[in-house]
Structure 1
Amino acid sequence: MAGGKCLALIAHDQKKDDMAEFARRNRETFASWKIVATGTTGGRVIEAAPDLDVTRLKSGPLGGDQQIGALIATGEVDALIFFVDPLTPMPHDVDVKALMRLAIVYDIPMALNEATADKLIATLHA
């Protein structure tokens, strides 16, 4: 992933439609970024905005969250947008917490809902 800025996108199942629409709406801003996404989220983003440079990793529960965490730890991800569903229990919750911890440790911007993601995108686009 050398060169350019990299944005990580993840969405829980109940938020995947929201993430796809968010990516479609912000495709002009995202066009200058490399995007990494967990498997299903990445597929939905590609469907909504096929012109974006999206690399799909594994599904979150199958290691995709950890793959993005590794990219954060190696300095390859510059910002994280993770649409979290706080109302649905997640069997891989420990992976999600580890990912968030890495974003905090490595001090990368992280948005966990659409309102915060809008603010983050506004700063990326400025």
Structure 2
Amino acid sequence: MNIALIAHDQKKNDLVQFVTAYQEIFKKHKLFATGTTGLRINEATGLSLTRFKSGPLGGDQEIGARIANNQMDAIFFFRDPLTAQPHEPDVTALVRLCDVYAIPLATNMGSAELLIRGLEMGLLEWRNVVKENGEGNEG
């Protein structure tokens, strides 16, 4: 599975701790992350991942493009709902794309716990069927 890892500045520590706790599950998948988040996760865990630009510099849009092209299977996006984000339109677009293409999205520790356990139990295997059938590539 292709998994994106994103966190707003105030939530980066939470996501790093979460990935560290579940690195045995995450290491079985192909990981992608936005700039600093990816660097921090790599430094803390040693997990291999593909880093995109920082969110405000286009990283959210890079991940969004992969969602639109059926190249992402799950998103862990720890959002900070109490701090205004300069790239809020990009954040909103990314969340909307997850809804349009039925990509599981965890935006906090509670939903992330459910998503990672589902991933561990193989409950996201339906994504492989979607990809094999070429669904999600409509334009």
TM range (shorter): over 0.9
Aligned match for 2:94, one of 94, 99, 103: 99
Aligned match for 2:85, one of 68, 84, 90: 90
The percentage of aligned residue pairs carrying the same residue is: 55
Following superposition, the deviation at residue 36 of structure 1 comes to: 0.6
Matched-pair contact (CA < 8 Å) for 1:65–1:95: yes
Task: Provide the residue aligned with 2:137 in structure 1.
Answer: none
Following superposition, the deviation at residue 44 of structure 1 comes to: 0.8
Q: Secondary structure at the match of 1:19?
A: helix
1:67-111 deviations in Å (ceiling 9; x for gaps):
000010111100001000011100100000000000100001001
Following superposition, the deviation at residue 48 of structure 1 comes to: 1.2
- Matching of residues 32-43 of structure 1 within 5 Å: 32-43=28-39
Following superposition, the deviation at residue 53 of structure 1 comes to: 2.4
Any gaps of 5 or more consecutive residues in structure 1?
none
> What RMSD in Å do the two structures reach over aligned CA positions?
0.6
Give the aligned length. Answer: 121
- TM-score, normalising length from structure 2? 0.86
Task: Provide the residue aligned with 2:44 in structure 1.
Answer: 48
Any gaps of 5 or more consecutive residues in structure 2?
122-139
Q: Which runs of 4+ in 1 moved over 6 A?
A: none
- TM-score, normalising length from structure 1? 0.94
Q: Secondary structure at the match of 1:81?
A: strand
Matched-pair contact (CA < 8 Å) for 1:33–1:53: no
Task: Provide the residue aligned with 2:20 in structure 1.
Answer: 24
Q: Which has the larger radius of gyration?
A: 2
